[in-house]
Amino acid sequence: MTYDLAIIGGGPAGVSAGVYAARKKLKTVFITFDFQSQSTVSEGIENWIGTIKISGQDFAKSMEAHLRAYSGDSVDIKTGLKVTSIKKLDSGEFEVTTDNNQTFNSKTILIGTGSTRRKLEVKGSDIYEHKGLTYCATCDGPLYSDQDVVVIGGGNAAFETAAQLSAYCKSVTILNRSDKYRADPVTVDRVLSKPNVKSITNVEFVEVKGDKFVNTITYKPNAGELIDLPTTGIFVEIGLIPSTGFAVGAVEMNQIGQIIVDPRTQQTRTPGIWAAGDCTDGLYHQNNISAGDAVKALEDIYVNLHTK
């Protein structure tokens, strides 16, 4: 069969699109491996509009529950699948192929696959990954109770990680490459007011050292000498890489793999394909923005399907 729409991705963008597709009675195939978006590692999401605070895991569960409650006969949910390619057929339809060689044909596509965490690339980082160097405070943070730890990054994710760690770690040092933070000022002030949290800016990371496990991170302050900072845990929050490899050749991307979209409609430069959320070249990326992008895209997809 041919669907009206194929939605790829199970985060806030994909789910928001799925709910709106159901409400508009578009015959939709919804393809995702799971509903675990970037925010599922957060201990408490405080900026999801209408909800004062919710854990990342509960956020993911509520997303899935909302979609399933509305899906009905309109949205065919396929989980446990990863999309490997998108191809436009001679008929003008699209063929979406998954990692188990299933194919789904659709008239339109919405990509909402988000992004993955950027790795710290310095000497020793590969050796000590999962041996004191980690990318998930929620997963690994409690292992460092009463210890001195480091958070690398200057965005909201880094400061939220530091706040979480401060509850049970002896000390938390935030190291940031630039001299300015990307995090919201209110978040910066709140986190740095904690007595066991401090920050150091404008540093160059040189090496991660240790024995069996991490025991030191070496960095160089601006115009300064090398400093060895003792630590047993390094939590990396330095940005994201868009999850768009499967769409190479199908849509136009920028130099870092973000899908280029028209911000008015979320249309890509390939007619019939839209994209929303962290996988796009949008200027800002947050859960609320991802959801809004997806709703905008669905409105445009609906108009395109019903005016051709």
For residue 303, which of 22, 26, 3, 15 has the smallest C-alpha distance?
26
pLDDT of 110: 98
- Cα separation, 21 vs 182, in Å, equals 34
Which of 28, 31, 38, 41 is CA-nearest to residue 10? 31
What is residue 260's DSSP assignment? P
Q: What is the mean pLDDT of the chain?
A: 95
> Rounded to an integer, what distance in angstroms lies between the CA atom of residue 290 and that of residue 111?
11
Between strands 75-79 and 28-32, the pairing is parallel
Residue pair 243/116 in contact by the 8 Å Cβ criterion: yes
Burial environment of residue 95 by CB neighbours within 10 A (0 to 12, 13 to 18, 19 or more): middle
pLDDT of amino acid 223: 74
Instruction: Report how far residue 55's alpha carbon sits from residue 146's, in angstroms, rounded to the nearest whole number.
Output: 23
Question: How far apart (Å, rounded) are the C-alpha atoms in residues 285 and 247?
Answer: 20
- Total-model pTM: 0.80
What's the pLDDT at 130?
A: 84
Cβ–Cβ under 8 Å, residues 114 and 37: yes
Calpha distance 45→268 (Å, rounded): 30
pLDDT block averages, 10 residues each, the chain of length 308 = 97 98 98 90 82 92 98 97 97 97 98 93 93 86 94 94 95 96 94 97 96 96 90 94 97 97 98 97 92 98 91
Partners of 214 in beta bridges: 210
